[in-house]
Structure 1
Amino acid sequence: MAQGSGTVGIGLIGAGGITRGHVRGYNAIGDQVKVVAIADVVEENARTRAEEVGGADVLTNYGELVKRDDVDAVDICLPHHLHADAIITAANAGKYVLCEKPLCLTVAEADAVRQAVEHNGVTLMCAHNQLFMPAVARTRELLDAGTFGEIYELRTTDSFLSRATGSGGMTWRSRVATAGGGELIDTGYHPTYLLLHLAGSSPTQVAAMVSKHRLTFMEGEDSAQVLVRFDNGAVGTIVTGWAYTPAPGTERFSIVAEKGSLSSDGTTIDYQLNDEDPVRIDLPDVDNMAAEIADFVACVRDGKRPVNTEDEGIQVLKVILGAYQSARTGTIVDLASL
């Protein structure tokens, strides 16, 4: 489509539970975008989503969906192990791509994704919805302004108590072959991309321990702790899990730096510069998935660069793959070796 003109036609690939948030986003900007087709091997799921968007063609094969002239961009909401093939198929058809996390599962897949995107001149946006929290955007502004000076340490957390009692309730998420691991490459992907976004620096080394505390039916871990060294010398900590409710007062993210420190629960920012009074900033609690969808549509319409493309997506993936290698071997992993 010509930049800045017309309604963006979306093809939704996958119609599982995660797509509910995506549909909310598209419906909120219905004057700019239209979901014209939905593909899912479970036709009933596709029909349900089609009703929610006010009508869309239902298919069971996304290979047919990407051939349609009325599809300008695709939104991939498939199980993890299917991401790479869907991205490559869409890119080869000349479609812009929004893909749910993780980008893919291996470095080889990531290389193939990058090649397809670059060869076909399309834009890929990684669906990193927590970057659209106003608290994250405001913190990034403060960091870019030099408010805190050199960053020393960062911490991101994303943990909750899963009520799942068996693999039946988690289906493909409980299997390493289809999920790519356990909790770390699923929910743990959020605090990983958030850590890298706030650090504003390239990760160089990773050390990790993973655990299986409660969800013993899973093949992979149900919680993880990860240390990341960045090339500017900063060290980041990721704490994530499905095994427990975090302790009261646990922050969503925090930063310790040369001129002071900051912490946030996701809606409120508290910071204090050295020898100054503390500052509190209250921010709205927005639907960050809907905000992500609006930004993707703007990228398609206006040709702007997404916050996280395949470049950032591959960095996040390598941190997680490095963490898994570290947990297996008990060593610190240099990411340049992956």
Structure 2
Amino acid sequence: MPQIKVGLIGGGGIASAHIRGYREHADKIGITAVADAVEQTAADRGAELGATPYSDYRRMLEAEGLDAVDICLPHHLHRDAIVAAAEAGKHILCEKPLCLTAEEAAAVRAAVTASGVTLMCAHNQLFLPAVAKAKELLDAGTIGTVYEVRTTDSFYNDFDPTTMGWRASSSTSGGGELIDTGYHPTYLMLHLAGGSPVEATAMLSTHRLKFMEGEDSAQVMVRFDNGVVGQLVTSWAYQPAASTERFSAVGELGALHSDGTSLSWQLRSGETRTVDLEPVDTFAAEIGHFADSLLTKTRPLHTEDEGIAVLGILLAAYEGARTKTIAPVLAK
């Protein structure tokens, strides 16, 4: 048996990427039970993993001697699963977004605080080597005081009305592309900016996927309490131009930028460097980090604190777009 026994809540979609991570770290963490409302999905995943299947995760929490859960559910179901797991005393890994409203965020924080369990937000892109190296340079003051951070996550998505499922409805997704794929460049911006978000606004568009209730593209601006201004672009409608950086930061002493694989920085002193970094399976790295955090009783890279801060940015961006104003970040 693995050192850490995990119950998988939600066996479809993104669960496959998580399962790769558990297989890579099978010496310390593993899935011993799986719950999915679709009984066949639960049975199939159970057979695949050698895990006990359940059609109700609450029954799984009661019946199994689990240490933790991994929540891979549609967005609108995250809050209830987190609260149930916390009340059962289980540590939690939760896919993005953490939840959908400020009220849900308050319930999540209260449940996790009361139980004393560890909650880790599944922000896999933070485990890109280029991101880790950039964060190291920023924290070391290599480009001095940071003025601006930009992030991009756009691609041509081939969703159609028959394949989009729950993501087509704002009531189950929480909005549109911004709170889905757009969550990635938002937590990346937060990570690199190094401050707490104060205010945000957005321009939302539906360029191509017009059967969606929400937007398929967004441009967002965010101000942080340390003076950093963030800009992000995210879309399911199009591939970005070839010269578009995955992320960049500009500071008093110079700048850095990355395509997600290599990282370059240029200083006003004339120093210029580029490093090429070996790719990793970010989901496997994420699962390993979760396991290590539990085994060593150390804080994960992103907890409910960062998950709520990211949600706060997105809610303020949506409010700014709706009212054509710059909106305060309320969920922190």
Into which bin does the TM-score normalised by the smaller protein fall?
over 0.9
**136, 154, 169: which one aligns with 1:159:** 154
Q: Which string of whole-angstrom CA distances, capped at 9 and with x for unpartnered residues, describes residues 17-56 of structure 1? A: 1001100000111111221100001122223322333x10
Tell me, yes or no, if structure 1 residue 205 matches structure 2 residue 196: no
| 1:334 Cα offset (Å) | 1.5
Q: Which residue of 2 aligns with 1:297?
A: 291
Q: TM-score, normalised by structure 1?
A: 0.96
Distance in 1 between residues matched to 2:106 and 2:331, nearest whole Å? 15
Q: Which residue of 1 aligns with 2:119?
A: 124
What is the RMSD of the two structures over their aligned residues, measured on CA atoms? Answer: 1.3
Tell me, yes or no, if structure 1 residue 216 matches structure 2 residue 210: yes
Percentage of pairs with the same residue: 57
Compared CA separation, residues 44 and 336, structure 1 to 2 (3 A) = closer
Contact 2:70–2:94 (8 Å) recurs in 1:
yes
Q: Which residue of 2 aligns with 1:51?
A: 47
Q: Which residue of 2 aligns with 1:194?
A: 188
Q: Which string of whole-angstrom CA distances, capped at 9 and with x for unpartnered residues, describes residues 198-221 of structure 1? A: 000111110111000000000000
- Amino acid aligned to 1:62: Y
Distance in 2 between residues matched to 1:6 and 1:20, nearest whole Å? 19
**18, 22, 25: which one aligns with 1:26:** 22
**56, 60, 72: which one aligns with 2:55:** 60
SS in 1 for 2:63: coil
SS in 2 for 1:272: strand
Q: Which residue of 1 aligns with 2:278?
A: 284
**57, 73, 88: which one aligns with 2:83:** 88
Divergent runs of 4+, >6 A: none
- Amino acid aligned to 1:178: T
SS in 2 for 1:20: helix
Distance in 1 between residues matched to 2:39 and 2:151, nearest whole Å? 38
Distance in 2 between residues matched to 1:61 and 1:6, nearest whole Å? 23
Tell me, yes or no, if structure 1 residue 266 matches structure 2 residue 250: no
Number of aligned residues: 332
Contact 2:150–2:249 (8 Å) recurs in 1:
yes
Q: Which residue of 2 aligns with 1:238?
A: 232
Larger displacement relative to structure 2 (17-26 or 274-283): 274-283
Contact 2:2–2:27 (8 Å) recurs in 1:
no
| 1:6 Cα offset (Å) | 6.4
Distance in 2 between residues matched to 1:331 and 1:238, nearest whole Å? 17
Distance in 1 between residues matched to 2:331 and 2:133, nearest whole Å? 34
Contact 1:91–1:117 (8 Å) recurs in 2:
yes
Q: Which residue of 2 aligns with 1:75?
A: 70
Distance in 2 between residues matched to 1:185 and 1:115, nearest whole Å? 23
Q: TM-score, normalised by structure 2?
A: 0.98
Gaps of 5+ in 1: none
Distance in 1 between residues matched to 2:253 and 2:152, nearest whole Å? 23
- Amino acid aligned to 1:303: K
SS in 1 for 2:26: coil
| 1:275 Cα offset (Å) | 2.9
Distance in 2 between residues matched to 1:193 and 1:244, nearest whole Å? 21
Distance in 2 between residues matched to 1:192 and 1:92, nearest whole Å? 29
- Amino acid aligned to 1:169: T
Distance in 2 between residues matched to 1:65 and 1:197, nearest whole Å? 34
Q: Which string of whole-angstrom CA distances, capped at 9 and with x for unpartnered residues, describes residues 136-182 of structure 1? A: 1111111111111101111000000011222x211000100000000
Tell me, yes or no, if structure 1 residue 103 matches structure 2 residue 113: no
Q: Which residue of 1 aligns with 2:329?
A: 335
- Amino acid aligned to 2:258: S
Q: Which residue of 2 aligns with 1:182?
A: 176
Distance in 2 between residues matched to 1:70 and 1:249, nearest whole Å? 51
Distance in 2 between residues matched to 1:6 and 1:161, nearest whole Å? 39
SS in 2 for 1:312: helix
Q: Which residue of 1 aligns with 2:107?
A: 112
